[in-house]
Structure 1
Amino acid sequence: MIAKASTISHGANAIRYSVNKEKADIVKANLLPDNISPEAMYGRMMLVQRKFAENINKGRPLGRNVIRIEISPSEEESRGWTMNDWASLSNEFIRVFDSIDLSGKTKRASSKQTNLKGSQYIAALHRDSKSGILHLHIDANRVDMEGRINDSHKIGERAVMAANIINERRGWMQSEEIGIRHRQEISVCCMEILRKMDKFSWKQYEAELTKRGYKVHLQEKESGGVYGYSIKRGNSIYKSSVLGIGRSLTPSKIEATWAKLHPQERKSEPTKPISQQTRTADITPISQPVIKHYNIATDEYHSYHVEIPEAADNIIRQNCSLEEAHPLAKLEEIQHTALLLFAGYLDAATSMATSSGGGSDTGGWGRDKDEDELEWARRCARMANSMCKRRKGLHR
């Protein structure tokens, strides 16, 4: 499950969207009458704020007067849920959110806790328009029924912490791991689209991503071209700079990435006339490096595309060894662990090593800034050998 929160100034529109969206269901109206319009809900929140106007913000109205929260369990986590299950999650999230003490981080006494439980809020259940996956929207009054302001400092961090506490309680995947998997999933999808394109086109790239259920926001220059873009998956947005390997899917690099996938389609440079003094034997043809492609499955649901120069691939194959590996490990699994490390899929590599009986601390692991591909491949092979060893304490 992932969650995010922010304070907003367009509270009336947010509540209207939460309540009136197609196929939305009201999960809970806290300290608000049932069956009233979204306009009436917002009006009642503003009545409370006006009642305590002299005590909040020195008499001035709050600019950002509503707290907006989105809670998104995965499809697997919420499969088969009833409305009571969603109400239970809503109540649990509010309790945990309110209990988190951030005063040490913000150096503000007001950050010790919020009081959404004692504030007016509406919780509504939405369905993603493409996938149908369910998620919760909560719109809460910034001022509780006692006239105290619900603190907004690091409110997004408070939501993430609340989600992770609940994830741990329920045995769900942590939000950081979800983010990594989503970035990997989108990156693999982008590479597959580029691989199938006869020529690079932003219009086709955007259309193919949309077909797969993603929303794409292109930032276009006035003079033409794209200088930035982001991809939305469910309620999460990922900038192009966090996708791919080495920023390979950013606007400045994506066409070169497409070209690497289609070496046979590159237009050759025009041949310059050779002077009479130049002999044919002096001309050495320039060959393009061979790129190897792998689709590595870590389980029945997750597959990762890896591209690696043939020279680096050979180094991994030569340096991966079963010599100190777990008895259940296979050489191919060690090599796949190294390939995943090379491509930057650290979480997937750890999963592969664990499934082969190994496991190792990868804290601080990563490619050095000036490290060339061949040395990086050697380090990945050594790390894969280490990760696929028998873990201490698991043998007698």
Structure 2
Amino acid sequence: MDPSTDPIRVLLAADAADATSSVPTATSLERRDDRFAVEPATDRDAATALLSTDRFDCVVVTAAFADGDAIDVLVDGTGAGDAADASDTADGVDGCFGVDAADGRDAIPRLLAIDADRVADPSALAADALAAGVTDVVRCREDELASRLLANRIGNAVAARRAAAEADRQHDRVDRFVSGVSHDLRSPLNVAQGRLDMARDDPGGGHLDVAATAVDRTLELIADLLTLAKQGEKPRELTLVGLRETAEECWTTVATGDATLLVEGDGRVLADPSRLKQLLENLIGNAVAHGGDDVTVTIGVSSPMYTATRAEVFPTGFYVADDGPGIPEAARDRVFEVGYTTASAGTGFGLNIVREVAAAHGWEVSVTESADGGARFEVTGVDVEE
């Protein structure tokens, strides 16, 4: 999926409909760009309440909103032309209805829309707004041109924020990757080096076999680390992938011994096929490694549960469950950490790769207890077609 097609949720804070204003309406913006879902607010309390829900990617406030106090509304307490307050906002005062603006890349974009024909000095107002920390100022004159201009500026501001957030996420991933390489490769390499030194003095002491095992372990870690490095990148194209077919294919590529696979339902998942396979392979391998060769692994779609009176709303997705010994509640948050493992032959990267694959798709993954007392991994936020 191309990130440029992702929905953009906009809060448009404007006074009640004014037929003479050139500032675009929610309807005209949505017609201009089909990615937009614009929700209007006609007073300050309504705007504050809506934005506190954290549902929006951008907020647009018109110059006349809240009795002309639009800049104050946008930066939450920073008055127009007040240089000291503007400086405070730039240095990290909470802005945009309580959204932390300590890092401009974390705060959602804040745009001021000026009806250029109805403001005495639009240039001065624009300068005050930008000095106060507003992301962008758009001067509107004619309705059709104004909607095109404002839509473009909203799209650009949201794209810039998303790109910065993705860059930060990738930077964090690189840091974790480097940390994993330095920490996890050092131990087996030290073992191999030590045993090779010992083999020079005692050629028949079995030291070369131990060194060879340590080298094999190093190669296994490198393979997992390279996989981990690739999985966090956002997929460019997603397709509907059959969960049953993918699970059965994964079952043939993982050493499962006498374990049993059960697939419930025939749902299709919107995903990158290769990465979905990687995720399922790792969860299957984890179940067999910890549940034993005779474990039963169940894979299926998570569907809403219905009662006699109403439907309980649960996030859509899929799960991988087993009837093994399960995961202690105290350890459930740690199992996704880099290097965490309770298996003597484990690298500690398998479940971290699962989390990275899920995050790259915009999914969430968690672990609970299965109906049989084993582990149940829930992947939610997934588009599923049944």
TM-score of the pair, normalised by structure 2: 0.28
TM-score of the pair, normalised by structure 1: 0.28
